[in-house]
Amino acid sequence: MAPRLRIVSYNVHGHKDDRAALASVVRELDPDVLVVQEAPRRWRWRQKVAELAHSFGMVVVEGGQPSVGNVIVTSLRVRPLQSRSLRFPLTPGRHLRGAAIATCRVPDGRGGHAELTVVGSHLSLDAAERRAQAALLRAELEGSPAPVLLAADVNEEPGGEAWSLLADGLIDAAGGDETPTFSVSNPRRRIDAIMVDPRIRVEAYRVVDSDSARRASDHFPVMADVELFKPA
């Protein structure tokens, strides 16, 4: 019996929109793992990130200032094993970017477990810088013994160079679903992605559009239900 997980990727727009709506959206989705982009990362960031996770009924695993606003939070069902933050080289005049990475263990309910490495990132608006960041992130993940699940605001659509670099060897959880993820006021672009290792099976995928989601951020949350293949 392979462990099953609900994953949500969500750019929360700096946590500056309707916070009650944001908490309501996440709690209704009830994820096991939530990857947040544009989480608090400046003054009193530790407290703010903890309060954000608490509003969801979840706990912080990795991220905040060290990962430049990328945060991984989980339910108590998921056990973090190790985590780290990554910063990409800063281009003068542009925003610093980074990633949060956490390897977690998930029980199967029958005394066994499986592991996965969760990665959250938010790439540059500049195409050349974005491509370089995607290459660095892929290099960081090469050889991961645990299956990789990447949740990112790529800032470009499928087929772009950075998107293609990230997707190489991974499976786009959306399948053929091209529902836009940005912006909630004028949905035109699918720039938020969940990509999974072939050792992870995608059971369901959805871009979550609701009245609350349209008040909570400028991005729609992206959700995937997945099954982890247990090691032989």
Only one residue has tokens 């991961």, namely: 144
Task: For the chain, list residues with pLDDT below 50.
Answer: 232
Q: Is 197 exposed, middle or buried (0-12, 13-18, 19+ CB in 10 A)?
A: buried
Distance CA 42, CA 65 (A): 6
Whole-number pLDDT of residue 2: 84
- With beta carbons less than 8 A apart as the criterion, state whether 192 and 153 touch: yes
- With beta carbons less than 8 A apart as the criterion, state whether 29 and 23 touch: no
CATH hierarchy code of domain 4-228:
3.60.10.10
Q: How far is CA 52 from CA 2, 4, 22, 188, 219, in A?
A: 30, 25, 10, 28, 17
Distance CA 67, CA 85 (A): 5
Whole-number pLDDT of residue 230: 57
Phi, psi of 231 (to 5 degrees): -65, 145
Whole-number pLDDT of residue 232: 45
